[in-house]
Structure 1
Amino acid sequence: MSDTALIMIDWQQGFDDLAYWGNRNNPAAEKNGATLLAHWRAKGWPVIHVRHDSTTPQSRLHPDHPGHAFIEFAVPQGEEPIYGKLVNSAFIGTTLEADLRARGIDKIVVCGISTDHCVNTTTRMGGNLGFDVTIATDACFAFDRKLPDGRVFAADLVHDVALASLNGEFAVVKSVAQIIDG
């Protein structure tokens, strides 16, 4: 698995503000993400951190806001690289693709926030770029989403539909336990 990188997407404190973001699903996502990260680190496999560097000053993810910081379990250690992104994909405006290829990495495992936005977009692009992508389904979460006509889609549904649309086309969807068990 030394040719497989764990990509930790947007595990930032600003997503804890549910008054700002709304309802979310999968309250165990952080615990599962921590388990996956600890496993990767114990094996000495490549870990990559991605964070959203919002350009909107009032955003919880703006570099001047405390919410920009990584949550406790996901703080990078040692030489683990950090990629700041301005859009949903970790591949746009960063050297992530080139750096992965330079290291001979052709497989990625993705987890983070949110399932239907940055995890989804990074997964789609990774698949389109030829990477073998796995998503840790229980180490991601989504928020409720609302259409302009007022209909609200619950976070569980948003999460599940996002994963279903990726599975088999852009990635393989597995639980943390399935990923760790190989």
Structure 2
Amino acid sequence: MDLDDTAALIVIDVQQGFDDPDYWGERDNPDAEANVGRLVTAWADASRPIVLVRHDSREPGSPLAAGTPGNALKPVVADAPHDLFVTKDVNSAFYGDPDLHAWLGERGIRQLVVCGIQTNQCVETTARMAGNLGYDVVLPIDATHTFEMAGPGGIRLTAAELARATAVNLDGGGFARVVATDDVLGG
């Protein structure tokens, strides 16, 4: 895959609190964190910009609440070199602190590779906003994971079904190119 030298890797919410199956339910893609790690290593080796994002939940009892052990980043990214660290309490990294869009604009960055947790929540929302803001967005779907979820009227979708829906929403909707990590890394 042909990526700009300035393409930024946006790593969304790879936090320890997502390791609580009692809270989140069944997850998909057990290789997500390893693929995130491969991307971070490749970006660091190429001296490309890396942005780490952390969700500081305001929901009572959330394993992602600020100041709790679950709020901490997972070891795969905890010590990763990065150029910007964004905290947020909503789904989109573009509504975090500091201002991601302004930071990218100041550096002339127009291409983003987005990965992390949860595929259909913060990853999809950030990718959709990035697409709407005019960025060229690439989403290696196997460097994301999510959890089963219930909706209206008792509808329940598995994590894999939600990930497939995200792939269709983003790629089919023109927000992002949905690919595999190997596509991004050229192997």
Segment of structure 1 superposing worse, 69-78 or 99-108: 69-78
Q: What is the CA-CA distance between 1:81 and the residue it aligns to? A: 1.5
Q: Distance in 1 between matches of 2:150 and 2:41?
A: 35
Residues 1:39 and 2:23 aligned together: no
Residues 1:2 and 2:10 aligned together: no
Label 1:159 to 1:125 Cα distance change in 2 as closer, same or farther (>3 A). same
What residue is the counterpart of 1:84 in the other structure?
Answer: 87
Residues 1:150 and 2:154 aligned together: yes
Label 1:80 to 1:138 Cα distance change in 2 as closer, same or farther (>3 A). same
Structure 2 counterpart of 1:140, one-letter code? T
Structure 2 counterpart of 1:173, one-letter code? V
Segment of structure 1 superposing worse, 103-112 or 146-155: 146-155
Q: How much identity, in percent, do the aligned residues show?
A: 42
Residue segments in structure 1 that go unaligned for 5+ positions in a row: none
Q: Distance in 1 between matches of 2:14 and 2:151?
A: 26
Label 1:146 to 1:57 Cα distance change in 2 as closer, same or farther (>3 A). closer
Q: Distance in 1 between matches of 2:122 and 2:145?
A: 11
The structure where helix makes up a greater share of residues is: 2
Q: How does 1:34-113 map to 2 (within 5 A)?
A: 34-94=37-97, 95-113=99-117
Structure 1 counterpart of 2:40, one-letter code? L
Q: Does structure 2 retain, via aligned residues, the 8 Å contact 1:59–1:65?
A: no
Q: What is the CA-CA distance between 1:34 and the residue it aligns to? A: 0.7
Structure 2 counterpart of 1:15, one-letter code? F
Residues 1:115 and 2:113 aligned together: no
Residue segments in structure 2 that go unaligned for 5+ positions in a row: none
Q: TM-score by structure 1 length?
A: 0.95
Residues 1:30 and 2:54 aligned together: no
Q: Does structure 1 retain, via aligned residues, the 8 Å contact 2:40–2:80?
A: no
The superposition leaves residues 98-144 of structure 1 with CA deviations (integer Å, 9 ceiling, x where unpaired) of: 00010111000000011110001000100000110000110001111
Q: TM-score by structure 2 length?
A: 0.93
Q: Distance in 1 between matches of 2:156 and 2:111?
A: 35
Q: Does structure 2 retain, via aligned residues, the 8 Å contact 1:49–1:76?
A: no
Instruction: Give the match's secondary structure for 2:153.
Output: coil
